[in-house]
Homo-oligomer: A and B are copies of this chain.
Amino acid sequence: MEGNNRKSGIIRLKRCPSIIGHAAAVGKKEHEGPLGAQFDYHDATDRFGQKTWELSEGEMQHIALNLALAKAKVPADSLGALFAGDLINQCTSSSYGLLDINAPFFGLYGACSTSAEGLILASLWMNSTESGSAAVVTSSHNCSAERQFRFPVEYGGIRTPTSQWTVTGAAAFILGDGQGAYITELMPGKSIDRGITDPNNMGAAMAPAAVDTLTRYFRESGMKPSDFDAIFTGDLGFEGHSIVNEMMCADGINLSDNYLDCGLLIYDREGQDMHAGGSGCGCSASVLSAYILPKLEKGEYHDILFVATGALMSPMLVLQGQSIPGIAHLVRITKERNL
């Protein structure tokens, strides 16, 4: 499947940046979920003091970035670069929410894989400039996403069993050379399209991309799933998580023991009636900040794989009968600098 291996390469970083500060700001349902107490900030109205959902989402990014900068003790005006993106058309939450941050700005579009795309590009930034820091910020908001991708929430559309709930959440990560978990390896994803046309089954659209990236990683590294404390996919939810388990197993790689999905961790799926689980750029990002990184910092984990997944879906192209490509970017994060 991969053709020439030169382009499939794992990137082993010379300068392994550490995540010296991170924070997550979330909405009501996320705060009511099993990770509720671990988020840094929540707003039970989901509005974050703003008049429109798009501005609310931007404000969440702003809050998350400021909290992360404070924890990292990095003043906003010494930030080397800012990598940000979201789901809303023209990446508007990132552009407007972060407007007062006076730093070089790189807008990204990786759908729900944006957290890992940003961590990869920020790591490359740290490895090819003399910059002392870089920030990665991403978000999603249930109400801005629903009206853009499906129906406005006021419409009360019935959701299918395979549909996921877009997380209202933003997270920010500050990369630098201080204390914190280390980013040691990267494997950027490829666009993979296996013909899924149902926009209410994002898990199935993204799963083949996660399988492609994980398979390439294990083949090239010679490692196996049990070499890691845990392997996280972004937001495949119940459907996508099952598909990845099955496809990897068919490929001779047994993931089941320590394979988790951020979309399954963030909600009590049945208790909160969340159908297939959480999704959105804010899903994997806020779980990374609130759940995964604290375990690395406390020493409960020493070595994990974080594989954020995205469905590169356009509602316009779905109406035009096109299928939905997926992508999955991998970041290896370790407690110690040297593996």
Contact = CB atoms under 8 A, between A and B. Distances in A.
A120 B129 CA distance: 12
Contact of A9 (B79, B131, B316, B325): B131
A102 B320 contact: no
B95 A325 contact: yes
A245 B54 CA distance: 35
A221 interface: no
A35 interface: no
Contacts of A13: 128
Interface in A145-203: 187-191, 193
B7 A96 contact: no
A331 to B, nearest CB: 13
A248 interface: no
A95 B111 CA distance: 11
A79 B5 CA distance: 10
A191 B95 contact: yes
A132 B9 CA distance: 11
A317 to B, nearest CB: 5
Given A96-B317, A106-B117, A325-B95, A131 B6 contact: yes
Contact of A109 (B91, B128, B314, B322): B91
Contacts of A7: 77-81, 102-104, 131
A124 interface: yes
Given A6-B80, A54-B320, A129-B11, A188 B105 contact: yes
A274 interface: no
A110 B107 contact: yes
A44 interface: no
A121 B291 CA distance: 30
B4 A78 contact: yes
Contacts of A92: 312, 314, 316-317
A79 B187 CA distance: 15
B128 A91 contact: no
A106 B110 contact: yes
A272 interface: no
Most buried by B among A79, A89, A125: A89
Interface string A37-55: 0000000000000011011
Contacts of A80: 6-7
A4 to B, nearest CB: 5
A105 B191 contact: yes
A102 B314 contact: no
Contacts of A190: 102-105
Contacts of A312: 90-92, 95, 107
Given A54-B317, A124-B124, A107 B108 contact: yes
28 contacts: A3-B77, A3-B102, A7-B78, A7-B80, A7-B104, A13-B128, A52-B320, A55-B317, A55-B322, A88-B314, A88-B316, A89-B90, A89-B315, A90-B109, A90-B111, A90-B312, A90-B314, A90-B315, A95-B312, A105-B189, A106-B110, A106-B120, A107-B109, A107-B117, A107-B327, A108-B109, A124-B128, A124-B129
